[in-house]
A and B are shown apart, each in its own frame.
Chain A
């Protein structure tokens, strides 16, 4: 296959899988009627069509399109995070800066491929300067907690998410012009792992793996989902600079991080007393519900790739 045909072939493959899922949902509804589970399944599949369509559009527009797509995803994620965070009037400048200065600056740095700055901008400079913006307003009530929560939100929603498009900036020998496929590899493996954990859990799930955090995650879903997503990663090695066994290992690390990320984000939702972060994506919840696993996988996947495969 020529490089220019790889992405179209990939999206055609995804469309075929989604078409099969749409057909399965239709058949299930004909067989069992409109149950809540089937309606949720169909809503999820419909949302997948939209999300894959947006990803395909971003790929058509090239690197800039993918960077803008993930910047918008960061915006939606940070909005959900701050909505569930008890902020005060005194946070106004810090919040405005987070949304309108920090977020665009981080993606601009990714856009100009300035690794030395985008990898420390939020963990160092924003970490030091945002508390100053909050302190200057003079409101000391719960100051430490407010500052820490906003910094954590920026790390999760902006810094970590930006490591997906940051893959486009890696100088990998012999991989020129194929970086978008590496982005697709990470997103597909992690999202497929979520779907496969859900499917295995629904089919075989018996023992809950973390009852205090998530009632729906089971040992069977975890093992089946991680194993099958790892195999999927190995089968998609051709999209990456990795050998098949390396692709399997990278997929394993990414899916494990994704699973753990889901647990962490569930703990926060539990604490806040909500089931979902938002209602942006029908059947899935909010942007953070869909991205939680990618958020925890992306920086690790990025740095492993950078350490072993770049010059």
Chain B
């Protein structure tokens, strides 16, 4: 935390996110305060985790780290500054040929240290007309291996309209980040069943969903 450049960058980026999107957090359920959390959200824009981060109360934000692709955030000094020092991201290498060992190991280490994670189980940005891509299995393995962590479904609405792919100027539009009820893995629940429940829990938080 004793990094003034990163602290200033944090204030500027969350301030800009608020100014452009007027973002508001909405909590649909009470969540145990002290346990680490795994926020899993839909992913349509590079700014997604910034919005989640912006609406988290300060005491939660301080110990919440985004999970991001190393191939993107290690590429160049500016991205490295933001990825490492500003947002303290947990970097995952998405290129199977380049990684060694368990790709989820850094995530497990963060959860074991009591930190919370923001992750995007679609695995990549959704550039289709579909509301949500199929979820990758990492979410299931991570939640099952860490029963002490609380999995929280999250829906980010509208950010894809603020900054569509390939555009340089953001359009100011109101965004909402909705947090749902915790969704732990059931006893003996298999991967397909859990991922299906997780997917439906996310979609149920989207505006216009018939919950």
Residues on A facing B (Cβ under 8 Å): 75-76, 78-80, 82-83, 87, 89, 92, 95-96, 99-100, 278-280
Chain A residue at minimum C-beta to C-beta distance from B165: A89
Contacting residue for A95 out of B22, B158, B171, CB 8 A? B171
Q: Which residues 164-183 of B have a CB within 8 angstroms of A?
A: 164, 167, 169, 171-174
17 A-B pairs whose Cβ atoms sit less than 8 Å apart in the complex: A76-B22, A79-B172, A79-B173, A80-B174, A82-B172, A82-B173, A87-B161, A89-B164, A92-B164, A92-B167, A92-B169, A95-B171, A96-B169, A100-B169, A278-B22, A278-B174, A279-B24
Chain A residue at minimum C-beta to C-beta distance from B172: A79
Residues on B facing A (Cβ under 8 Å): 22, 24, 158, 161, 164, 167, 169, 171-174
* Interface residue SS majority, chain A: helix
Q: Which residues of A contact B173 (CB under 8 A)?
A: 79, 82-83
Contacting residue for A83 out of B164, B167, B174, CB 8 A? B174
Q: Which residues of B contact A79 (CB under 8 A)?
A: 22, 172-174
Do B24 and A83 have beta carbons less than 8 Å apart? Answer: no
A99 and B171 in contact, given A83-B158, A87-B161, A89-B164 (Cβ under 8 angstroms): yes
Q: How far is the CB of A54 from chain B (nearest CB, A)?
A: 16
Q: How far is the CB of A14 from chain B (nearest CB, A)?
A: 27
Q: Which residues of B contact A75 (CB under 8 A)?
A: 172
Q: How far is the CB of B177 from chain A (nearest CB, A)?
A: 13
Q: Which residues of A contact B22 (CB under 8 A)?
A: 76, 79, 278, 280
Cα A82 to Cα B150 with chains together (Å): 36
Q: How far is the CB of B141 from chain A (nearest CB, A)?
A: 36
Nearest 10 Cβ contacts at the A-B interface: A83-B174, A96-B169, A79-B172, A95-B171, A83-B173, A89-B164, A92-B167, A99-B172, A278-B174, A82-B173
Contacting residue for A96 out of B158, B161, B171, CB 8 A? B171
Cα A270 to Cα B169 with chains together (Å): 31
Do A82 and B171 have beta carbons less than 8 Å apart? Answer: yes
Cα A194 to Cα B92 with chains together (Å): 55
Cα A278 to Cα B167 with chains together (Å): 26
Known pairs A76-B22, A79-B22, A92-B164 / 8 extra A-B pairs, C-beta < 8 Å:
A75-B172, A79-B172, A80-B174, A89-B164, A92-B169, A92-B171, A100-B169, A280-B22
Chain B residue at minimum C-beta to C-beta distance from A76: B22
Which of B24, B158, B171, B173 has the most chain A CB atoms inside 10 A of its CB? B171
Q: Which residues of B contact A76 (CB under 8 A)?
A: 22
Q: Which residues of B contact A96 (CB under 8 A)?
A: 169, 171
Cα A280 to Cα B18 with chains together (Å): 12
Q: Which residues of B contact A280 (CB under 8 A)?
A: 22
Q: Which residues of A contact B171 (CB under 8 A)?
A: 82, 92, 95-96, 99
Cα A96 to Cα B66 with chains together (Å): 29
Q: Which residues of A contact B169 (CB under 8 A)?
A: 92, 96, 100
Cα A197 to Cα B103 with chains together (Å): 63
Cα A280 to Cα B24 with chains together (Å): 9
Q: Which residues of B contact A95 (CB under 8 A)?
A: 171
Q: Which residues of A contact B24 (CB under 8 A)?
A: 279
Q: Which residues of A contact B158 (CB under 8 A)?
A: 83
Cα A92 to Cα B165 with chains together (Å): 11
Cα A95 to Cα B167 with chains together (Å): 12
Cα A40 to Cα B174 with chains together (Å): 23
Which of A75, A92, A279, A280 has the most chain B CB atoms inside 10 A of its CB? A92
